[in-house]
Amino acid sequence: IVYLYCLNPRIMNFIKKLSLLFLFSIAFVSCDNADPDTIGPTVEITNIPDNKEYKFGETITMALLFKDQTGVFEYQYKLFAREYTSDSFDVTADVVLNGFFTELSEVKSIHLPAKLPNEVYQEGDYIIQIKAADINNNISTYIKPIKIVYPTE
């Protein structure tokens, strides 16, 4: 019986049109109309207010929060003087994650050197800078101003 229907030209024409309609509907539905990701991750230090004062010899503990629609996969944090001199203190650390994360919380610490008789670091305005990249290599930069001074004796 199926063989007889296939021989009928009207039925064959209907089946062709139906199959083309089916193919076009699949192609239309499978197209992704979402905007491509062109924005780097959002980054935030959630526990340090702007211009917080630290003393040499203390540890700066940063609660970091990253968010990205495609996933953060690496970041870098730096601490440096706003106005660099030869006595400025600076630190840089690169972090490559094991995978990629649309939301990530991490805690990182920076130990500030203690006062030594033969080594003096610049006091004043410093910057914590965090650069984060997502899996599409979109990069964003976050800056947090702080102050670093020597403890009073």
- 84 sits in the region (left: phi over 0; alpha: psi -120 to 50; else beta) called beta
The pLDDT of residue 30 is 47
d(CA 56, CA 121): 9
**Mean local confidence (pLDDT), 143-147:** 98
- pLDDT, tens only, 69-118: 999 999 999 999 999 999 999 999 999 999 999 999 999 999 999 988 88
Task: Look over the chain and give the mean of its residue pLDDT values, rounded to a whole number.
Answer: 87
User: Which percentage of the chain shows pLDDT scores above 70?
Assistant: 77
Per-residue pLDDT, 152: 85
Could you give the dihedral angle defined by the CA atoms of residues 58, 62, 83 and 121, in that order, rounded to the nearest 10 degrees? 20
